[in-house]
Structure 1
Amino acid sequence: MPGFSCYEVRSEFPELERGIVYLDNAASTLKPRRVVEAMREFSYRSYANVHRGVHRLSMEASKAYEDAHEVVARLVGGSWDEVVFTRNTTEAMQLAALTLAYNGLLRGGEVLVTAADHHSTLLPWVRAARLGGGRARILPLDGRGVPRWDLLEDYITEDTRAVAVGHVSNVTGAVAPVEDIVKAAKRVGALVVLDSAQGVPHLPVDFRRMGVDMAAFSGHKMLGPTGIGVLWARRDLLEELEPPLGGGGTVSRVRLQGGSVEIEWEEPPWKFEAGTPPIIEAVGLAEAADMLMEIGMEHVARHEDELTSHTMKLLEPLYSEGLIRYVGPDKPGERHGIVSITTHLKSPDELGLLLDRRGIAVRTGLHCAHILHDHVDASMGSVRASFYIYNCKEDAERLAEALEEILTTRR
């Protein structure tokens, strides 16, 4: 889609016809007509359960489901057999953590996470480290709530088994230095697992080229439906490791031999997709990925950077007067697609409700990052505006005007 324009894509999103300024994209993006229609058409014409069925509908459904793996793989720089469909990023990170723990790769060692991480990253790896008889080590934050990446070399040691971190913070918008993280981890033979829930939807990514071993993201944050996420992992890892979850679809043969059960696992990615998978959702996710690739992820990233800079420029008077405080960097070039603030009002929810009365949808609260908010003295949470392809500069201007009106009249 040469010469991408936010105005041109807005017609794909009926909810915007209500006049709402939707700035809650880090939580979930709106769904375009083409995604909804693709799921609807598949549901009415080609739906059946996938794999092992020889009838026409099952064959059609299986092809559509397998094709979805191909499409998603193209978006993230992998091959189809490195794409494991899950329910969401949370489940994908759980699957990654449990797989490494189940196979003994975390035994007696450390897992490095950061104090800025979303709970979907922090909690699975803290628990998996304990399960393996080891511990989680927490990389601290600077005064802005950004991880102290300068301390990586001190925190990654010979005891480090895995480094699991967020690609882009869902609170500060700060982008992790993935190349530096991979380099430090590989020095000691540690695996790198990336929570890319806020990365894949907003930035060009190539997981193989980046050098990470596993990565997770969600469909509903990238124009796709809820109920589907992705765990991407290197093919050799998926081949080598035994899945922690077994059941229908994961095995090629099970036999009883001498009183014990012998299991022959399916090839990747199927051996990691236990039970009936999210078939209809996979069709929707593939359509969403196609749309993003047509636009070009470099255009998506540039557009969000421009909106972030424009918003912070508009908010400069409120910031200078002390009426708002940024959670995260106060320079646009150091954050991507997200602007989170605190104010003098009683709670973030109060400001969120006042904005909603003016037709502006933002997210309020702790954003599943409690430790980060405690660290920056925002234990009540923050107000977060986050951007996507259908947001235009007028949306940022309406937000700034509403904030000025609310905060200057409620000093």
Structure 2
Amino acid sequence: MSKPDWTAIRADFPLLSRQVHGKPLVYLDSANTAQKPAAVIEAVDDFYRRHNANVSRAVHALGTEATEAYEGARGKLARFLNVQPDDLVLCSGTTLAINLVAYSFALPRLQRGDVILVSRMEHHANIVPWQLIAQRCGARIEAVEISPEGVIDIEALDRQLAAGAKLLALTHVSNVLGTINPVREICARARRNGVFTVIDGSQAVPHQPVDVASLGCDFYAFTGHKLCGPTGTGGLWARREHWQSMPPFLGGGEMIKEVRFDGTVFNDPPHKFEAGTPNIAGFIGLGAAVDYLSGIGMPAIAEREAALLRYATGKLSEVPGLKLFGTAPDKAAILSFLVEGAHAHDLATLLDLEGIAMRSGHHCAHPLMQFYGVPATCRASLAFWNTEAEVDALVAGIAKVRRMLA
């Protein structure tokens, strides 16, 4: 197979050609949201121009076309993740997906004193739902700790799993540190101890091949807008036996077979968990995103981003006074850092004036910031469309800011 032409691929993203503050845009915030290729934008536009109708409710031509396109997107996502379409619930993203697991699966099963394990590096979306249900049932949250390099302490985790924990919430890839957790190994350890696993795949699915069926987890959530798709899209995979045993999380249209005042017969999964009119155009766009990424090849994308990470790590390591957070040997192209003498927000604001879009703040990971004893970091998150020249622009921008603040 021929090597991808990354220059041509970059041209597929219209927004990357614009200027900000009179400077060429350098977009280094893909962990926040990915930019969209023209194919995705055109798919959404085509739906609204030519096929707009509700799904699963009408027998007319537009309704049939919309339903086929929507369910077609489910099929594309299922193949992309190597799962069965009927085991994949489409929802607005990882936040809703984890709340669905928390309230529909975990809450009915947890009792007072039960332990929910949550890793130190989790996004708030994989912390707060567990806190909310723990308050309702009397369970307690216990942190899974990490090393200063940002690596899960497996030996300590083994002790926690063996001590009678009920559920483990774990990110596949940290949105702050870039750490790629060994989820297959961890899920196997959890399963041997009878511990259910909920994996946040938001930062993994867009950047590397993910075979969910081989991971051994109980639940796997992901977000579409980080996958080059529209906002308000995502999904939750679960083992079939869990879907069959879980009550609905939301009630309304589409998730029913028959409604009477004396009771309701619910639809089969996954539709039982998809109440109301979905983001039809968004999922059609997400299906187009999956087609686009599959056309490039996820192994090629992972290889390209690994090369960018090596280049960027080397360049940033040479910057005087710059400290990197997250130095795991296996990590994604995410670099969080601080520069001596510059507050993270000030640095990001001044870099924006150079056209460099980079996140600053706690990154929805307060417990991780507390671990490192800092209120915030800057984060440069790379994607396959980025270039070495953009990394050089970041380094030059940091040097300029340091001179300004000296």
Q: TM-score, normalised by structure 2?
A: 0.95
CA distance in 2, matches of 1:346, 1:360: 16
The aligned counterpart of 1:9 is 9
The aligned counterpart of 1:22 is 27
Pairwise CA distance, 1:71: 0.4
Q: Deviations over 1:260-307 (max 9, x none)?
A: x32211111100001111111010000001111111111111111111
CA distance in 1, matches of 2:64, 2:100: 28
The aligned counterpart of 1:389 is 384
SS at match of 2:166: strand
Is contact 2:342–2:405 with CA below 8 Å preserved after alignment? no
SS at match of 1:315: helix
Residues 171-250 of structure 1: pairs in structure 2 closer than 5 A: 171-250=176-255
CA distance in 2, matches of 1:101, 1:235: 16
Q: Which piece of structure 1 moves more, 84-93 or 128-137?
A: 128-137
Residues 260-279 of structure 1: pairs in structure 2 closer than 5 A: 261-279=262-280
Residues 89-128 of structure 1: pairs in structure 2 closer than 5 A: 89-102=94-107, 104-108=108-112, 109-128=114-133
The aligned counterpart of 2:148 is 143
**How many pairs align?**
400
Residues 5-404 of structure 1: pairs in structure 2 closer than 5 A: 5-18=5-18, 19-102=24-107, 104-108=108-112, 109-157=114-162, 159-256=164-261, 261-318=262-319, 321=320, 323-329=321-327, 333-379=329-375, 381-404=376-399
Is contact 2:176–2:336 with CA below 8 Å preserved after alignment? yes
Aligned-residue RMSD, C-alpha: 1.6
Give the letter for the 2:233 counterpart: I
Q: Which piece of structure 1 moves more, 143-152 or 210-219?
A: 143-152
CA distance in 1, matches of 2:97, 2:6: 31
Is contact 1:340–1:383 with CA below 8 Å preserved after alignment? yes
Q: Deviations over 1:116-153 (max 9, x none)?
A: 11000011122223333311211123223443233111
Is contact 1:68–1:282 with CA below 8 Å preserved after alignment? yes
Q: Deviations over 1:286-344 (max 9, x none)?
A: 000111111111111111111111001112222xx4x1111111x6x432110110122
Q: Are the structure 2 counterparts of residues 60 and 367 from structure 1 closer, same or farther at C-alpha, using a change threshold of 3 Å?
A: same
CA distance in 2, matches of 1:158, 1:144: 26
Give the letter for the 1:118 counterpart: H
Is contact 2:118–2:144 with CA below 8 Å preserved after alignment? yes
Q: Deviations over 1:373-402 (max 9, x none)?
A: 1211211x0010001121111111111222
Give the letter for the 1:59 counterpart: T
Is contact 1:111–1:126 with CA below 8 Å preserved after alignment? no
Pairwise CA distance, 1:408: 4.9
Pairwise CA distance, 1:405: 3.0
Q: Which piece of structure 1 moves more, 80-89 or 1-10?
A: 1-10
Q: Percent identity?
A: 36
Pairwise CA distance, 1:28: 0.3
CA distance in 2, matches of 1:131, 1:25: 36
CA distance in 2, matches of 1:358, 1:340: 19
Unaligned runs of 5+ in 2: 19-23
CA distance in 1, matches of 2:55, 2:30: 32
Pairwise CA distance, 1:346: 4.2
Q: TM-score, normalised by structure 1?
A: 0.93
Pairwise CA distance, 1:158: 5.3
